Amino acid sequence: MAAKPNLNSKPSISVFFPCYNDAGSIGLLVEDANNLLKRLAGTYEIIVIDDASKDESRKILKRLKAKIPRLNLVFHKENMGYGGALKSGFKNAKYEWVFYTDGDGQYDVKELEKLIELISKKVDVIQGYKIKRSDPSYRLVIGRTYHYFSTFLFNLKIKDVDCDFRLVRKKALDDISLKYNSGVICVELVKKLQDRGYRFVETGVHHYPRLYGHSQFFNYKRIMKTLFELAELWISLQGQNYEKQ
């Protein structure tokens, strides 16, 4: 008798996108994700966390919802910041694996296939890193400085903490508590997963110029706030380590 096919061989995945004024890119991201997951996932959902966008993002998303039943929409009444959007995504995701990337289209969601291929029982976090960053020169300098500073300060073991192209086991996310509503959440996320002993594997992904909108991070006030919060996070983690001794 022929063996029955393993209906559970494909992973169950929650994909989500934080969105803030990404009307020019969010629709294509959702459609590309849906087409990819139909082929590669056993069960799946797509979530968009709209962080109080002021453009046409919500109108576009409501139209997509009518076409894509597995699309779930979370609308923040007030802007919660990038970290706040990520925390909403992690909270609302329900499947075994959780993937997220930004709603601005600088990453190609179809490269999620590369991450899915690396799923195994020995891996908890599949982390992308930018093969080459496609940003203006001043952002390259700031980004490189931020990477080296945070990697040194927190003893991070990955190549690119600032690459928001991640596939993480839901149980690992449920095992940590995240505080920050700013971009510092990326360092916080990686550091806490690393300190809990979760196993990382990395793969290169492409990074593209931003065609719509502009980054909310690159201004003096936000950069200073980020540096302050990094220092606050470091002190907090040092205190936790001291208490364990």
Mean per-residue pLDDT, 155-175 = 96
Nearest 5 degrees, angle CA 193-CA 199-CA 204? 95
Residue 134 in this model has a pLDDT that exceeds 80: no
pLDDT of the residue at 242:
43
Domain coordinates in residue numbering, the chain: 13-244
Averaged over 228-243, what is the pLDDT? 79
> Which one is predicted more confidently, 181 or 213?
181
**0.85 surpassed by pTM:** yes
| pLDDT given at position 1 | 37
Work out the mean pLDDT of the chain and round it to a whole number: 89
SS3 of 165, please?
Answer: strand
Query: Who has greater pLDDT, 124 or 162?
Result: 124
Range list of β-strands (E), the chain: 13-19, 44-50, 71-75, 97-101, 125-130, 165-169, 200-205
Residue 28 · residue 184 · CB < 8 Å: no
Q: How confident is the model at residue 196 (pLDDT cuts 50, 70, 90)?
A: very high
Residue 236 has pLDDT above 90, yes or no: no
Q: What band does 171 get if pLDDT is binned at 50, 70 and 90?
A: very high
Tell me what the mean pLDDT of segment 37-49 comes to.
97
Residue 56 structure tokens:
């046409």
Q: Which residue has the higher pLDDT, 19 or 220?
A: 19
Which pLDDT band, with edges at 50, 70 and 90, does 154 fall under? very high
Distance between CA 145 and CA 133 in Å, rounded? 14
One of 3.40.50.300, 3.30.43.10, 3.30.930.10, 3.90.550.10 is the CATH number of 13-244, namely 3.90.550.10
Confidence at 147, pLDDT banded by 50, 70, 90: confident
Q: Which residue has the higher pLDDT, 219 or 110?
A: 110
pLDDT at residue 4 in the model: 39
Looking at residues 162-169, what average pLDDT do you find? Answer: 96
Q: Return the pLDDT at 137.
A: 72
